[in-house]
Amino acid sequence: MQVNVSDQNLNEIQADALCLVLFEGEGLSEVMQELDGHLQGELTDLLTLKEFKGKLYETIVVYTHGLIKSPRIILVGAGKKEEYESPRLTKNIAGAAARRAVKLGVKKLASLLPQQEATAGVIEGVILANYDAGIYKSKKDNSKIEELILVGADPKAVKEATSTAEAINWARHLISEPANVMTPKKIADEARKIARDYKLGIEVIDEKEAAKRKMGAFLAIAQGSDIPSYMLVLRYKSPRVSKTTLGIVGKGITFDTGGISIKPSSKMHDMKMDMSGAAAMLAIMKLVGETKPKVNIIGIAPVTENMPSGKASRPGDVVKSLSGKTIEILNTDAEGRVVMSDAFTYVQKLGANKIFELSTLTGAAAVALGPEAAAILGKPDSWVKLVIDAAASVGERLWQLPIYAEHKELLKSDIADMGNIPAVRSADVIAGAVFLGEFVNKGVDWVHIDIGATAWFDSEKPYLAKGPSGSGIGAALSLIKRLSSES
Ligand code: BES
Ligand code: ZN
Ligand code: ZN
């Protein structure tokens, strides 16, 4: 989408629709009053007749009958002023207006910026709302916003927000693609393309090479699939010496059947989204290549299917991970942590001293928090807090769950160093983090973010289509920006 800046008066702008935001119970702002003058008081009438209340995500379309240059206005509600939360709601409100615009067939949308700080939120909201997952429909609805005009925005902020949002949509596209298309090989090709475009270092470790390097945990899952699997690594080196090397680790299961511990068939098709962490990693590395931050960054993702077959790991199998620690695979459906353990070990071997990891690790994340927040766990607390803060500053909610010393007991195995699930099922989200924590070296800061409930929306939101959300990408980019400006 093209995003352009304008300083024309609202009545002069020629777009398919103008978007205006109103809080619940609040009157028109000065600029809106001026516009209302041109509209012979139509906006005032709407408010006094209470046809539009300004409730959160409420929208109404007003036709302007040639009184101003744009043929219609989309009014969108921002809810109660005291409940307003920036930038999360800025994004969502802009998204709600944009989705209404998309449904009207608007190609050119203009919006007034409530304030400069809202630039990124509005752009991201509109670009994310404009995404449609119906990529294989023969008859395209064909309605997409092609141009957004922002009145009074700063062009530099516009450029940055636009490329961030486009990268998030690119990741959402990878996630939407079915597992017969978005194979590990296809994802490896995407990684190669990013490495080429931005001159990043790359390693595509195939199964033969992984066996040589003793990535036994990764291979224990990969061996069940008939198609090739890869451990993908992208490396970015800061132009300035930096003591921070951030590892961005993403789970890349292109399809999770559960393996021999097979999943029930209802909703199994959604498990094409189990590579959302890997897609996020690629999008993040794309933007890292574009923005060149002052910290070293290594992106890593194990990409493989999790299939049941004659070659698949069985429940009870014991495997030796790259770290040397042995794992009893009690449940082959808890495959994410198994493949990720080797990614953790390898990224630290390459020099990562801070870890930011995204995985669709558990269904229990949805039980605990639903799609409104992703669970975050890690050590030390200061690193967890830093990530939560960075995420909040771009409107992403992360909610910390604890890791107590007692939780370590969960993964005791009779035969190996650890099991991959608790013998008696409990604290699923925490158990996942405890498992991963076993593969973190002393002195390395780490967070595990369980995007199991946030990566994929089961139903449409007023501001976002059903399907992939791009969860975690904005948080990582915001974190990288902070680390970069500190060093
Ligand atoms: N990929 C799933 C988790 C998942 C489920 C993500 C539904 C999004 C929606 C993961 O590999 C898995 O199957 N986890 C198991 C772990 C359990 C066996 C401890 C789960 O959550 O049931
Ligand atoms: Zn699974
Ligand atoms: Zn999985």
Is 265 part of any domain? yes
C-alpha to C-alpha distance for 252 and 436, rounded to whole angstroms: 15
The per-residue pLDDT for 161 is: 97
Lowest-pLDDT choice from 130-134, 296-300, 334-338, 381-385: 130-134
Specify the length of the chain in residues: 487
pLDDT single digits (tens) 336-369: 999 999 999 999 999 999 999 999 999 999 999 9
Answer yes or no: do 239 and 96 share one domain. no
Q: Is any ligand 1 atom within 6 A of the Cβ of residue 450?
A: no
Q: 């229990």: which residue's tokens?
A: 364
Residue 84: inside a domain: yes
Q: Is residue 160 part of a domain?
A: no
Same domain, 210 and 334: yes
Q: Is the CB–ligand 1 distance for residue 256 below 6 Å?
A: yes
Catalytic: which of 213, 263, 294, 379?
263
Percentage of the chain beyond pLDDT 90 is 95
- Whether the Cβ atoms of residue 381 and residue 461 lie closer than 8 Å to each other: no
199 pLDDT tier (thresholds 50, 70, 90): very high
Closest CA to 123 of 152, 86, 159: 159
Note whether 133 and 182 are within 8 A (CB).
no
Q: What is the 332 CA–ligand 2 centroid distance (Å)?
A: 7
Q: Whose CA is nearest to atom 18 of ligand 1?
A: 334
- Domain match, 227 and 343 both: yes
pLDDT above 90: residue 452 = yes
In this prediction, residue 112 carries a pLDDT of: 87
Query: 135 and 181: one domain?
Result: no
Give the model's pLDDT for residue 133: 79
The Cα–Cα gap between 420 and 239 comes to 40
pLDDT tens sequence across 202-234: 999 999 999 999 999 999 999 999 999 999 999
- Asked if residue 306 has its Cβ within 6 Å of ligand 1, the reply is no
In the predicted structure, residue 76 carries a pLDDT above the cut 90:
yes
Domain limit, last residue, from 122, 154, 186:
154
pLDDT band at 319; cut points 50, 70, 90: very high
pLDDT of residue 140: 76
pLDDT band, residue 297 (cuts 50/70/90): very high
Give the pTM. 0.98
Give the tens place of pLDDT for each residue, 240-285.
999 999 999 999 999 999 999 999 999 999 999 999 999 999 999 9
Answer yes or no: is the C-beta of 419 below 6 A from any ligand 1 atom: no
Q: Ligand 1: which residue has its CA nearest to atom 5?
A: 363
* pLDDT over threshold 80, residue 141: no
- What is the 440 CA–ligand 2 centroid distance (Å)? 22
Q: Does the pLDDT value for residue 35 go beyond 70?
A: yes
pLDDT at 12: 96
Nearest to 239 by CA among 297, 289, 286, 292: 292
Is 305's C-beta closer than 6 angstroms to any atom of ligand 1? no
Compute the Cα dihedral for 434, 440, 443, 446 and give only its sign. negative
253 C-alpha vs ligand 2 centroid, how far in Å? 9
Q: Output the pLDDT for position 37.
A: 97
Q: Are 277 and 386 in contact (CB under 8 A)?
A: no
The DSSP code for 256 is: E
Average pLDDT over residues 141-155: 90
With a 6 Å cutoff on the Cβ, whether 93 touches ligand 1 is: no
Q: Which of 333, 425, 426 to mutate to test the pocket of ligand 1 (most atoms within 8 A of CB)?
A: 333
How far apart are the CA of 197 and the centre of ligand 3, in A?
30
Tell me, yes or no, whether 94 and 211 share the same domain: no
Percent of the chain scored above 70 by pLDDT?
Answer: 100
Of 99, 127, 154, which residue sits at a domain end?
154
Atom of ligand 1 nearest to the CA of 455: 8
Residues spanned by the domain of 17: 2-154
d(CA 62, CA 40): 13
Give the atom of ligand 1 at the shortest distance from the alpha carbon of 432.
Answer: 19
Q: Could you tell me which of 41, 22, 44 has the C-alpha nearest to residue 112? A: 22
Query: For residue 425, what is the domain's CATH number?
Result: 3.40.630.10
**191/193 Cα distance (integer angstroms):** 5
Average predicted confidence (pLDDT) for the chain: 97
> In the numeric block, which tokens belong to residue 412?
């005791």
pLDDT of residue 114: 76
Task: Report the pLDDT averaged over residues 35-50.
Answer: 96
337 is catalytic: yes
Give me the helix-helix angle, 119-129 and 88-104, nearest 10°. Answer: 40
Tokens of 479: 């974190």
The answer to whether position 161 is within a domain reads no
Does the C-beta of 432 come closer than 6 Å to ligand 1?
no
Which pLDDT score, from 0 to 100, does residue 116 have? Answer: 83
Q: Which atom of ligand 1 is nearest to the CA of 425?
A: 19
- 219 and 270, same domain (yes or no): yes
From 100, 272, 337, 354, the catalytic residue? 337
94 and 182 assigned to the same domain: no
Confidence of residue 142 (pLDDT cuts 50, 70, 90): low
pLDDT in tens, 94-114: 999 999 999 999 999 999 887
Q: What spacing in Å lies between the alpha carbon of 193 and ligand 1's midpoint?
A: 30
CATH of the domain at 118: 3.40.220.10
Secondary structure of the chain: what % helix, strand, coil (to 5)? 40, 20, 40
Average pLDDT over residues 322-328: 98
Query: Domain count of the chain?
Result: 2
Does residue 149 share a domain with residue 170? no
Q: Find residue 317's DSSP bridge partners.
A: 329
3-state secondary structure 185-243: HHHHHHHHHHHHHHCCEEEEECHHHHHHCCCHHHHHHHCCCCCCCEEEEEEECCCCCCC
Q: Is 360 in the pocket of ligand 1 (CB under 6 A)?
A: yes
Q: How far is the CA of 106 from the centre of ligand 3 (A)?
A: 39
Quick one: 221 and 297 in the same domain? yes
Strand, helix or coil at 401? Answer: coil
